[in-house]
Chains A and B, each alone.
Chain A
């Protein structure tokens, strides 16, 4: 008992000091906006739980106002970000948290984090607005919890993307599980409990390995410098000195956890179930943002921390990615549930994301990052569209629905548009990432190669097949509706159009003018690739000095250096 209360006291004190230090963080007011966003979400979320149960309308509006406010703050952050040096971590806020272990509360953003935060804050108000009609029947009256968890989720996501400290990153990373667990488990479909448990255990089990790997790297850093720190930059810098076998283990650990999160074939199995059972908003955030934690983690940790292991195993990982692309696309084609089809399509799409990362060049990684954002927009929108159908017909079975173009022309227009975006039609956003990731794999000199690109491109054909199969069944064809609702449903109302229009505009703009975003990725990616360039120059040097013994020489060198 004493131990626990002591710990709480210590933590409380630590939080107090952290808060005090936050107050005089350098960088002025704007620097504090990032933690402010995260804390605002969390605080208001919990405050919402205390709202009167009857006042559902008030709860909904409050949630909408808060998320919109957060979006506006994120815009301020984006405008005060110095885009001339997008690779540097800016607006850094640091405070000591657990000084003895060097754990800090530190948040800051570079361009990649910032874009992902913007994606989160952009999607959230739309999702909340889109969910206004969802809580009916048994769930009526539970709006408080629903929006509590959504806001907490947003806060956690912002914290993950902005975290510059490993422990903070991990707290955020794991904290995303809790709200989603409840969102699925309480507000989901018939099999919601199984889905929630499966989702939770899968990702938690995976992240245990990741955590072990990260702790090892931190420990390695400590053995070299003698001081504990969890600063991501410092740890990454130190990690390069690990021996090849250490790097292999670290990569394996990181990869297991992040691959589950992505999810990569064959550990994708939790995703379709989670998606089909989750409420619309849960699916939107899950597909739109949460999955990207996996690829973001690979980008931030796996690539820079274990470069030699990555070089050695990139092809193997590429094989998983490509198999996943084709495998999931084939599965999409035999689905009968629209939502499940889109869920599997996410598995296929995220395969491109991973493939691009391990191409280890500007085109591949840049394409992968923009794919994260574009997939969030188009798949998020698709889930919203499916949700709108579900609230009308209470079914998502393709056999029950047909020819909705006649009944719901506005909905159908949006649906076709987002399907085209998702299938990678040039001029819309999905294409940019898809093309660049394949191009990266094709032209990579470090890993992968033409065959990977060729097989991944098969995804282009299969993607068209399953998406058009779905459109042909649902939007086109002779009109067919469930009898109970035949002729009674109405097309999208103003609110729903208002939800989908910004997403459609974003899809078009990012499809036609992605260059500013892509250019802002170049510098951070260069930072990651510099490690690889160093390895290459070193290899070239050793190959020049002593012929034949390149690899073993390099390893011998390393052993001398490391204590």
Chain B
């Protein structure tokens, strides 16, 4: 049963993808609508099967070496020589949590999307891509080896590319899609090399073998009863551990290479540039892929491979610092954005930064917990933003909407719940998970902890800035000019100006479930997550010395952070409800800073100048200078000219004038005679 369930979880979305792809070519809208049912049904069924896996999970025997997962073999994938990578699944507590998030949130969003995308000509295509995404994401979280993770990793990247570029006739969407895929590939470059490094060092890439082996290296003596293959991996890795500097350099660089992949996928500095642009995709996609699931893959990967990261303290510190800095950096940018979806996008980058801070200080439980709660509240925030956008015909500019509370009351209060959770209001889900990370950070690196608290304050402010601006104040809005993702065409028949309104009840239902998660996910999920992380390879036991600092921080950090958050909500209220002129004056005073933040610190422009242009210039140089001039014209052309050159030299002798031939004949005869004379003499 367990095995069948695991296989079904992955197979169902794949089948759904194939069926939807066929439906997508149908010209009949009704047939296309089937795609939504099939996709939502398949993901929903995958959710049910995930629950079955979850139910059976506690009975899985622990073997005491840190890897407590069960391996389910599906079929062989790439096997040659010593290299093995199969379609096999590794199921432990961490997998179970990720499955819950992916299939659970996935189902809800698929239901919402069936309303949101209604009437779009690409309806079937949309759900094909969604199924592809879910399939790849499930491979990512369930794979029992690094290569299957990589399959999911690139697969979600491809799905993300297709979905960002869903409105493919819009140049901005095309550019954003391209950017997302290519920036991710930069990360994948690192990941692929890290994977190969793991293969060389450990002699395999199966979690079952490498994780206990790495754990045994990191904490010698703690880990006993390694199985035969695990011991082999351990023995192989021991050769790279300690002796011989050049070889161990490989082992030490593995976490850094893998980290690069995580930074790409989870939009951390310096590879964060693609995520805000990814908002070009339909909003359900932003909620599902660019907030709840795909972007958290980096956090999942590091948590999963935490024993390997533990082999290198510097790598962990780097992860923590990058996470912390990204959180602050993106939080600052979010302050000055006017596009609703971009505010949430930068907020996502910022929250992901928290998760990296969490794994960087070995607080995997906190990081995964935040991943879990974030999936709920950020999906909720995106979907409500999508509702607003849908109601205002594509309008996303904060400056062009105000006081929508009266028009869309349900949406208003749903988003409020999400905002509270994001801001870390006491007892909401975000409060629990964020504070867990802050406590861990404070106990390990106080500086990072304080920066984290500072970011928490920023978060509360920009969150409520948005909410107050959209829903409070005088009711005033300007309709956008968009119709199913494109500039509205006046011939479109179902395009007519209407009053903004809430979506129908059945489409709001998923949002309500998400609201429940955003509000209550914290105290309901706390024990559940802790228990399941404890039963996974991501479990990191706290050493006693650390526990004292941890407890001390735990006593005050949550309260300081939440008091600050409430104060910032108050400040946002003053600025954006009570006296909006004040906010504008403030912005005028700090004009320079606002411009830098509005332009996202000019990172895009910087990359364009230092990377894209030189690279393309090199392309031109290679093509014109080397390929066409040097190789083709000079070298090949030169060689081809050579026979002609010979001919040119010999041509004067063949001019047809008899006396010339006579002369050369005579000269030849004379030479022969001369030689004969010399020889015979």
Which residues of A are in contact with B by a Cβ distance under 8 Å? 198, 266, 269, 327, 330-335, 361-363, 366-367, 403, 405-406, 409-410, 413, 416, 420, 425-427, 431-432, 435-436, 438-439, 442-443, 450, 453-454, 457-458, 460-461, 464-465, 468-469, 472, 475-479, 512-515, 518-519, 521-522
**Interface check B479, CB cutoff 8 A:** no
Instruction: Choose among B80, B185, B250, B620 the residue that contacts A519 (Cβ–Cβ < 8 A).
Output: B80
CB pair B188–A460 under 8 Å, yes or no, is: yes
* Chain A positions within 8 Å of B250 at CB level: 450
For A469, what are the chain B residues with a Cβ–Cβ distance below 8 Å?
Answer: 178
15 additional contacts, CB 8 Å, given A403-B168, A439-B196, A469-B178?
A: A266-B635, A331-B622, A362-B83, A406-B169, A427-B155, A431-B154, A435-B78, A460-B192, A461-B189, A468-B181, A477-B169, A512-B77, A515-B79, A518-B80, A522-B81
Contact with A along B160-189 (1 / 0, CB 8 A): 011001001101011101100110011011
A327-B626, A362-B82, A513-B77 known; A426+B151 contact, CB < 8 A: yes
A114 to chain B, nearest CB (A): 17
Subset of 22 A-B contacts with CB under 8 Å: A330-B623, A331-B627, A333-B616, A335-B623, A363-B82, A405-B168, A426-B151, A427-B154, A427-B155, A438-B196, A442-B197, A457-B189, A458-B189, A461-B186, A464-B182, A465-B182, A468-B182, A472-B177, A512-B87, A513-B77, A519-B80, A521-B80
Of all chain B residues, the one with the shortest Cβ separation from A454 is B193
User: Does B150 sit at the interface, judged by CB under 8 A?
Assistant: yes
Residues of chain A contacted by B618 (CB below 8 angstroms): 330
A406: B residues at CB distance < 8 A: 169
Which B residues lie within 8 Å of A405 (CB)? 168-169
- The minimal Cβ–Cβ distance linking A381 to chain B, given in whole angstroms, is 17
B631 interfacial contact with A, CB 8 Å: yes
User: Total number of A-B contacts with CB less than 8 angstroms?
Assistant: 149
- Number of B residues with CB within 8 Å of any CB on chain A: 57
Q: Which residues of B contact A479 (CB under 8 A)?
A: 169
- Check if A515 sits within 8 Å of B627, measured CB to CB: no
| Cα distance, A435 to B78, chains bound together (Å) | 10
A432 touches B78 (CB 8 A): yes
Chain A CB within 8 A of B52 CB:
no
Chain B: minimal CB distance from A275 (Å): 14
Asked if A327 contacts B622 (CB within 8 A), the reply is: yes
Given contacts A363-B80, A476-B168, A522-B80, contact A461 B182 (CB under 8 A): yes
Which of A363, A426, A431, A432 has the largest number of chain B CB atoms within 10 A?
A426
Counting chain A CB atoms within 10 Å of each CB, the highest count among B77, B147, B615, B626 belongs to: B77
Q: How distant is the Cα of A346 from the Cα of B427 in the complex, in angstroms?
A: 58
Q: Are B168 and A475 in contact (CB under 8 A)?
A: yes
Docked-complex contact B154 and A425, CB < 8 angstroms? yes
- B5 lies within 8 A of chain A by Cβ: no
Q: Are B192 and A410 in contact (CB under 8 A)?
A: no
Tell me if B3 counts as interface (CB < 8 A to partner A). no
B615 close to A330 (CB less than 8 A)? yes
User: Quick one: which of B25, B80, B168, B181 contacts A362, CB cutoff 8 A?
Assistant: B80
Bound together, the chains give a CA A412 to CA B419 distance in angstroms of: 41
B540 interfacial contact with A, CB 8 Å: no
Task: Establish whether residues A420 and B616, one from each chain, have CB atoms under 8 Å apart when the complex forms.
Answer: no
Kindly state the separation between the CA atoms of A427 and B153 in the bound complex, as whole angstroms: 11
Least CB distance from B131 to A in Å reads: 14
- Residue B199 lies at the interface, judged by CB distance under 8 Å to chain A: yes
- Are B81 and A269 interface neighbours, CB within 8 A? no
Nearest first, the 8 A-B pairs at minimum CB distance are: A362-B81, A426-B151, A476-B168, A515-B76, A330-B619, A518-B80, A334-B619, A442-B196
Q: When the two chains form the complex, which single residue of A330, A334, A335, A439 contacts B83, counting CB atoms closer than 8 Å? A: A439
| Given contact pairs A333-B619, A426-B154, A460-B189, A436 touches B78 in the complex (Cβ within 8 A) | yes
Q: What distance in Å separates the Cβ of A157 from its nearest Cβ neighbour in chain B?
A: 26
CB distance from B239 to the nearest CB of A (A): 13
Q: Which of A331, A431, A465 contacts B623 (CB 8 A)?
A: A331
- Complex CA gap A469/B174 in Å reads 10
A378 to chain B, nearest CB (A): 15
